[in-house]
Amino acid sequence: MEVIIHKCPNCSGPLTFEPKDQKFHCPYCLSVFTADEVSAFEEKQKAAQMAAPEESSKEKSEAGNETAAAGEMALYQCPSCGAEIVTDATTAATYCYYCHNPVVLLGRLSGKFLPDKVLPFAIDKKDATARFLKWIRRKKFIPKAFFQKEQIEKLTGVYFPYWVVDADTEGTFQGLGNVLRVWVVGDLEYTETKQYDVLRSGKIHFRQLTKNALSKNIKQKMVARIQPFPLDKTIPFKDQYLSGFQAEKRDIEFEKIDEDVTQELGDYTKEMLHDAAPGYVAIVNQKSTTKIDELKKNYMLLPVWVLTYREKGSDQVYYYAMNGQTGKASGVLPISYPKLFFAAAGIFFGILIFGLLGGYFL
Ligand SMILES: [Zn+2]
Ligand SMILES: [Zn+2]
């Protein structure tokens, strides 16, 4: 398996993607490159490498073979310092623990695992940290440990795998629609009920139904809450965008969610056709058909800032997640019981005092 570090065309330092200007920065010579410049350089190096195998723009380590079967942890060799990089079965980009160079595990992003598109981060770590602190200030009863400096350091930018579905569906909806007319003449109220045959049929185009593609992503619910991602900003996949971030490859194949997606699209279709028949008090004897004409699925990597926190002496893990493009945040937060107790005591005292005052005045 190929492990690579995208290297600076100028000094061979490790390039990282910078969300602020959407360019690639070298921390050593401070050069800045566009995606096209990086690609052009690597293409040229690749051509040169064909002639002279030693030259390489992407430092490679073919020796660091995958030592474990798929589905388990695996070891790779860092192309920069030679240390072992331990990864989960789904890790596709990470940092070397020893030399802190950003590495991309190319083998996990090739063949059928080659993503169709990537949505690059737009929010960098500094900005993400500031947003996290602002967000947490509005929350009460949070233990200090959750936003201590060393904890916030762990805020990590992760490209998560998703299936994104575009589909054309068609359907029919029919039933008997009741319309009531009520009027009063003198002392008498008249009610007239008319019943109409209702029939609606149509074709509907759905865009960007977004589904989680990582089974270990227990943050799924929360990650769902930071949607939508601005998918119109996605670009054709280039692995250099992962440089400086973590990335996960999918382990949920589309066949596994196909049935759910079909069901969901069917339900939406039915609902929209039903909504296209307004103005009835009730529609009875409802019947409907739906079918999917065309379904296009795209495998995408989408950007999320994630912070996890494990409470001391407890298995409880808490999460904070933020959309790496829009900044929309969501979290499951720990509660600090001592703080909560004091607040509750304060409320209790407050009520007691008001009660006494009331007593005096009465
Ligand atoms: Zn450089
Ligand atoms: Zn290393």
CA dihedral 152, 327, 233, 30 (to 10 degrees): -40
Distance 53 CA to ligand 2 centre (A): 22
Confidence of residue 320 (pLDDT cuts 50, 70, 90): confident
Q: What is the token pair recorded at 235?
A: 């670009």
Distance 211 CA to ligand 2 centre (A): 34
Predicted confidence at residue 46, as pLDDT, reads 83
Distance 21 CA to ligand 1 centre (A): 17
Q: What is the pLDDT of residues 237-249, one digit of tens each?
A: 999 999 999 999 9
Residues 6+ apart with CB under 8 A from 130: none
Distance 351 CA to ligand 2 centre (A): 61
Closest of 88, 66, 91, 90 to residue 76, by C-alpha: 66
Q: In this structure, which ligand is nearest to the CA of 83?
A: 2
Q: In this structure, which ligand is nearest to the CA of 84?
A: 2
Report the range of poorest mean pLDDT among 131-135, 188-192, 257-261, 353-357.
353-357
Question: For residues 300 and 116, is the Cβ–Cβ distance under 8 A?
Answer: yes
pTM for this prediction: 0.78
- In which residue are the tokens 């019943």 written? 195
The pLDDT of residue 220 is above 70: no
Q: In this structure, which ligand is nearest to the CA of 81?
A: 2
Distance 7 CA to ligand 2 centre (A): 14
Distance 18 CA to ligand 1 centre (A): 14
Predicted confidence at residue 66, as pLDDT, reads 43
Q: What is the pLDDT of residues 197-209, one digit of tens each?
A: 989 888 889 888 9
The pLDDT of residue 292 is above 90: yes
Q: In this structure, which ligand is nearest to the CA of 11?
A: 1
Distance 117 CA to ligand 1 centre (A): 27
CA distances from residue 169 to 164, 206, 262, 311 in whole angstroms, order as listed: 16, 8, 10, 47
Question: For residues 168 and 158, is the Cβ–Cβ distance under 8 A?
Answer: no
Rounded distance between C-alpha atoms, residue 91 and residue 5, angstroms: 15
Q: What is the token pair recorded at 164?
A: 């994104």
Q: In this structure, which ligand is nearest to the CA of 59?
A: 2
Question: For residues 289 and 307, is the Cβ–Cβ distance under 8 A?
Answer: no
Rounded distance between C-alpha atoms, residue 233 and residue 224, angstroms: 19
Distance 34 CA to ligand 1 centre (A): 14
Q: In this structure, which ligand is nearest to the CA of 5?
A: 2
Report the range of poorest mean pLDDT among 51-65, 170-184, 251-265.
51-65
Predicted confidence at residue 79, as pLDDT, reads 86
Q: In this structure, which ligand is nearest to the CA of 41?
A: 1
Helix (H, G, I), strand (E, B) or coil at 92: strand
Helix (H, G, I), strand (E, B) or coil at 46: helix
Q: In this structure, which ligand is nearest to the CA of 27?
A: 1
Rounded distance between C-alpha atoms, residue 282 and residue 196, angstroms: 11
Q: In this structure, which ligand is nearest to the CA of 103?
A: 2
Rounded distance between C-alpha atoms, residue 204 and residue 168, angstroms: 6
Report the range of poorest mean pLDDT among 40-44, 162-166, 220-224.
220-224
In the chain, pLDDT over 70 holds for what percent of residues? 83
Predicted confidence at residue 85, as pLDDT, reads 81
The pLDDT of residue 343 is above 80: no
Instruction: Give the residue, 339 or 351, on which the prediction is more confident.
Output: 339
Q: What is the pLDDT of residues 139-159, one digit of tens each?
A: 776 777 777 888 888 899 999
Average predicted confidence (pLDDT) for the chain: 82
